Structure 1
Amino acid sequence: MKRRVEGTQLRSCALIGLISDTHGLIRPEALKALRGSDLIIHCGDVGDPVVLDVLETLAPVRAIRGNNDRGPWANRLPPQDLVEVGGHAILVLHDLAELDRDTDAAGLTALAFGHSHKPVIEKRGGVLFINPGSAGPRRFRLPVTVATLALGSGRRCEAKIVRLTISK
């Protein structure tokens, strides 16, 4: 079931922290990279509700359910979310293969997703597609990353992948 949820009331210029695929692990390096965010969006595979509790100490959090999120706590998370911030619409889903709409026609500024653990920033039509990568356990040789999305006035936005330097 898809649902539209009104976004957190933020100014038109806002910094959004994007994180995904934590799989129950919250790294101090990820918290440091997301500090200063006006809103944090978790793109699924949270792994443990404690992850969301810890992120909430930094900023309000919006999260969706990933394919590995199970149990009563996870059932409360939507499979997709439409986050509206200062005139910007951000569609959040876990697996890009589940995209069921024309993003340009939907008037989206950005689409945030996870699942692959591969960080990506790509413009498709007028929409910025962002996968923050994985901030959880390292998978294969992929980097451990989060992302930021700076929203400006009008439809201006800029995303950045933040590679985390981890001790392990």
Structure 2
Amino acid sequence: MKKIGLMSDTHSYLHPDVYRYFEKVDEIWHAGDIGNLELADKLEAFKPFRAVYGNIDGAELRVRYPLHLPFEVEQVKVFMTHIGGYPGKYAPGIKDLLKEHTPKLFICGHSHILKVMPDPAMNLVHINPGACGIQGWHKVKTLVRFDLSAGNISQLEVIELPK
């Protein structure tokens, strides 16, 4: 079993409570708009870290992280990108990538809107962890934690960070 901490849209701001809420996770995943290398370096020093770059990320982050990241953890196929849309309203080209990679878990960021929803047609679960940075119009900073084990996603929880 692996415990996952999921975040997105930090925009160069790392809330100090991230360390407390992600203390017991095995990996941290970031769905883009990291903001700067310093933030990525801090997270990489704290826990094993996977990330994709977002539309505000500069060349230094685009060299280090991919636009799309397909991978597998605990027999769960994952596809992570920054601009992905959501079931019924996927971003251009995303549905084709999901058909190609057939993930059980599709993760994206960008909208700053927390979403957890199934897509029965694609046989996947979609998660957008919202935003945990200070830039943007979102009123609540959010993180997501969940467990992966033997092909299953469980114990999903949303964390609201204090202002």
Under a length normalisation based on structure 1, what TM-score does the superposition of the two structures give? 0.83
Unaligned 5+ runs, structure 1:
1-12
Query: How many pairs does the alignment contain?
Result: 153
- Residue in structure 2 matched with residue 139 of structure 1 by the alignment: 136
- Residue in structure 2 matched with residue 44 of structure 1 by the alignment: 32
User: Structure 2 CA distance, aligned partners of 1:45 and 1:138?
Assistant: 11
- Residue in structure 2 matched with residue 163 of structure 1 by the alignment: 160
User: Structure 2 CA distance, aligned partners of 1:141 and 1:68?
Assistant: 17
Amino acid paired to 1:157: I
Unaligned 5+ runs, structure 2:
85-90
The residue correspondences of 1:13-162 to structure 2 (distance < 5 A) are 13-96=1-84, 97-98=91-92, 99-101=94-96, 103=98, 106-125=101-120, 126-153=123-150, 155-158=151-154, 159-162=156-159
Change (3 A) 1:59 1:41: same
User: Structure 1 CA distance, aligned partners of 2:6 and 2:141?
Assistant: 13
User: Structure 2 CA distance, aligned partners of 1:144 and 1:138?
Assistant: 10
Q: Spell out, residue by residue over 1:25-63, the C-alpha distance to the aligned partner (whole angstroms, 9 max, x if none).
A: 111112221221111111000001111111123311011
**Sequence identity of aligned pairs in percent?**
27
- Structure whose residues are more often helix by fraction: 2
The answer on whether the counterparts of 2:70 and 2:101 sit within 8 Å (CA) in structure 1 is no
User: Structure 2 CA distance, aligned partners of 1:132 and 1:123?
Assistant: 14
- Structure whose residues are more often strand by fraction: 2
Runs of 4+ in structure 1 off by over 6 angstroms are none
